[in-house]
């Protein structure tokens, strides 16, 4: 890693920006400029669907060495995930700019897709993380038991990754760390309702 000209602090890496989201979609250039000014050297653009994964890859190609992409299907979108989209994602995971598999996981809090559809999409992405040896960008909400049970065998097969935006309890945090996963502590840390 490079140090900046002042040598004051190491460069920062932001591992999850939803550039495609409604809130950020029109702000890509100013966001990249502000990140650079703040010392953020690299950014991972999150893909949460086939379409947003393609956008993330396009952004990565337009900003080589600065922006990288994930490709995957968020549990909310699992209902529209099928064999065709899976095969399209497999092509994306071959790209060097795509450095992680996800955002994927389980979210039983709102069940925008059925738990069965979520598990099917998650299972496919877990297997691809093992096959591509790319880390997982993981989402888990109110689904710890199934999530942990599905992850355990792929972790044993060498998969690694980050449970981003962790909102579980202490035992869950310790279980993930015990598996060798990282957890992301994000803005929720300021939310009293989540402790």
Q: Which is nearer to Zn ion, 57 or 140 (CB)?
A: 140
Region binding Zn ion by CB under 5 A among candidate stretches 88-96, 124-132, 138-146, 176-184: 138-146
How far is it, in rounded angstroms, from Cα 118 to Cα 95? 25
How many residues does the structure list for the chain? 195
Counting contacts by CB under 5 A, is residue 20 touching Zn ion?
A: no
| Residue of 176, 109, 175, 167 whose CA lies nearest to 136 | 176
| Residue of 50, 136, 61, 147 whose CA lies nearest to 99 | 136
- The token duo for 50 is 């086939």
Least Å from the CB of residue 98 to Zn ion = 18
Counting contacts by CB under 5 A, is residue 81 touching Zn ion?
A: no
Region binding Zn ion by CB under 5 A among candidate stretches 5-13, 61-69, 134-142, 154-162: 134-142
Q: Which is nearer to Zn ion, 97 or 103 (CB)?
A: 103
Counting contacts by CB under 5 A, is residue 134 touching Zn ion?
A: no
Any idea of the CA torsion for 188, 127, 130, 104, to the nearest 10 degrees? -20
Least Å from the CB of residue 10 to Zn ion = 26
Residue 99 backbone dihedrals phi, psi, to 5 degrees: -105, 0
Interface residue with Zn ion among 81, 139, 140, 183 (CB under 5 A) is 139
Residue of minimal CB distance from Zn ion? 139
From the CB of residue 114, how many other CB atoms can be counted at a distance below 10 Å?
12
Strands 161-163, 12-17: parallel, antiparallel or unpaired by DSSP?
unpaired
Taking residues 93 to 132 in sequence order and writing x for each that binds Zn ion by CB under 5 A, - otherwise, the string is: ----------------------------------------
Binding residues vs Zn ion (CB under 5 A):
139
């Amino acid at each position: 890693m490079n140090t900046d000209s002042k040598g004051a602090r190491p460069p920062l890496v932001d591992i999850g920006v939803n550039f495609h989201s409604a809130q950020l979609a029109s702000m890509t250039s100013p966001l990249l400029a502000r990140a650079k000014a703040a010392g953020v050297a690299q950014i991972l653009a999150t893909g949460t669907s086939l379409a947003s994964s393609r956008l993330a890859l396009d952004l990565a190609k337009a900003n080589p060495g600065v922006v990288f992409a994930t490709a995957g299907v968020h549990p909310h979108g699992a209902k529209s995930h099928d064999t065709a989209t899976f095969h399209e994602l497999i092509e994306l995971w071959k790209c060097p700019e795509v450095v992680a598999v996800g955002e994927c996981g389980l979210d039983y809090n709102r069940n925008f897709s059925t738990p069965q559809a979520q598990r099917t999409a998650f299972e496919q992405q877990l297997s691809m993380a093992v096959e591509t040896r790319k880390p997982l960008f993981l989402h888990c909400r109110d689904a710890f038991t199934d999530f942990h049970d599905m992850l355990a065998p792929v972790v044993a097969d060498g998969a690694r990754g980050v449970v981003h935006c962790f909102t579980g309890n202490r035992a869950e945090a310790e279980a993930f760390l015990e598996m060798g996963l990282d957890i992301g502590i994000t803005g929720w840390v300021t939310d009293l309702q989540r402790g």
